[in-house]
Structure 1
Amino acid sequence: MLTARAQQSLDTLDAQALAEIRTLRDETERFMLRYKFGMDEVITKLSILREEFNQAHDYNPIEHVSSRLKSLDSVIAKLQRKGIEPSFESITERVTDIAGVRVTCSFVSDAYRIFELLTAQPDVTVLRVKDYIASPKANGYQSLHAIIEVPVFLSTGAHPVAVEVQIRTIAMDFWASLEHKIYYKYDRQVPDSLLDQLTDAARTASELDERMETLHRRVHGEPVPRHGGHGPVAV
């Protein structure tokens, strides 16, 4: 049995450990909350644009906006895969997709228009852009990806927060959703025959986007751009 003094020392140690755990938990929750607020800021900006287009214009390029915040488990798993130091500073610098916003639109030209309107705002800083519309992935995936930074104003001051924004057409969003389900079903070990069909489907979706935009522009008496004339985005 432990002596009274030894038990008192153990109780004190346990109390200190619990206090440290609670402190770490609270700091982690506050840290993750910044990303939620950053995501909310971007959603608000897009919602304002969407409502303004509905009220003041005859056409709204924004069809749908969705968002997701990575779970803490997902963030930790990414730190382990990438060999990133598990500190708030390292996460801030090297993990830029904790907060994500996805915008779907009808036409490819809309994707570039939304990007320009969002990033033209003075409190939005563009950190990185990957234009998979101008340069699709090998599997045919097309989307405009941007890491932007927005300020989040808290009681402790302004905190810059990175948010990943993906902008793509309805057709490509449908394709990407199907691809994700297939990869999940096969635990990422997708048979080559299915991969070939997915790539072919992406090509078909791209052709559909082009044909539908051409039709839309002709109906509205607008010039039809040559294929690929929308990008890439310059930053």
Structure 2
Amino acid sequence: MRIANNEISEMEKYIKRIDEDTLIWVQRKSKEVARLMSYYRCAMMEIETKLNVLNEEFSWELDHNPISSIKKRLKSMPSIIGKLERKGHPLSMENIEEHLMDVAGVRVICSFPEDVYAMRDALIRQDDVVLLEEKDYIKNPKPNGYRSLHLIIGIPIFLAKEKKMMKVEVQLRTIAMDFWASLEHQLRYKKNSYFTKEMADELMECARISADLDLRMDAIRKSVEKQKHLEP
């Protein structure tokens, strides 16, 4: 399996600053860590399956697919260790599971803002899904203009001899929100670049335009649906 350059860079930085005790822990717990990461992957598969089923239902019930795409990601070990350090928790298997909510992440790209909330409601309505935390950055955007709906969900995975509850971060956003967020991250965190206030202000304006575009496209969609219902 090929490793991306940014992952290699992250690992190199991690190795340079890691203390001996942490390195020993990682080596000693390698099998347990691999098993836990496997559990997180299973949890993401469970979420993805639920979303695909809902998308299929919506496609014939509402005559359009609310989900444009689904992306999954698993935090790397350097990121996990770094986040535990920033939160002030010692490195342990228990602390990874208890204190890190976003080891596993699923990003759901929807067509329209209304689809975001429809998928959110349909997902958390399911009996085996537990909503642990919710942050609505669509109704309350971040200061930099970022918009998305973040959910922390508890989901069971069914193993050969046990059922285990896992946490997954689910981000729901529109195509326009994802376009802005992806490019904003590239521009703001570009290597060896200097980000000015003027650039930040321009990105904020782009975020405003993106939000307006979502509203205008949604209005067109509603007009099309209304016209369709008026036809004999």
Shorter-chain TM-score category? 0.7 to 0.9
Structure 1 partner of 2:79: 74
Report whether the alignment pairs 1:218 with 2:208: no
> Which has the higher mean CA deviation after the structures are superposed, 47-56 or 109-118?
47-56
| Counterpart mapping for 1:125-140 below 5 A | 125-140=130-145
Query: So what's the TM-score if we normalise by structure 2?
Result: 0.82
Shift of 1:52: 2.8
Q: Which blocks of at least 5 consecutive residues in structure 1 are unaligned?
A: 1-19, 223-235
Mapped partners of 1:39, 1:175: distance in 2 = 24
Structure 2 partner of 1:88: 93
User: What secondary structure is seen at the aligned counterpart in 2 of 1:204?
Assistant: helix
Structure 2 partner of 1:227: none
Report whether the alignment pairs 1:163 with 2:168: yes
Contact between 2:116 and 2:173, CA under 8 Å: does it hold in 1? yes
Distance 1:187 1:143, change over 3 A: farther
Shift of 1:57: 4.0
> Which residue, out of 169, 174, 179, partners 2:179?
174
Shift of 1:149: 0.6
> Which residue, out of 44, 58, 63, partners 1:53?
58
Shift of 1:188: 8.3
Report whether the alignment pairs 1:200 with 2:185: no
Q: Which blocks of at least 5 consecutive residues in structure 2 are unaligned?
A: 1-24, 228-232
Decide which structure has the larger Cα Rg and report it.
Answer: 1
Residue type of the alignment partner of 2:83: K
Structure 1 partner of 2:123: 118
Distance 1:90 1:189, change over 3 A: farther
> Which has the higher mean CA deviation after the structures are superposed, 27-36 or 125-134?
27-36
Query: So what's the TM-score if we normalise by structure 1?
Result: 0.81
Structure 1 partner of 2:156: 151
State the superposition RMSD in angstroms.
1.9
Distance 1:170 1:27, change over 3 A: same
> Which has the higher mean CA deviation after the structures are superposed, 189-198 or 97-106?
189-198
Shift of 1:220: 0.6
Mapped partners of 1:21, 1:87: distance in 2 = 10
Shift of 1:79: 1.4
Q: Taking every aligned residue pair, what percent have the same amino acid on both sides? A: 46
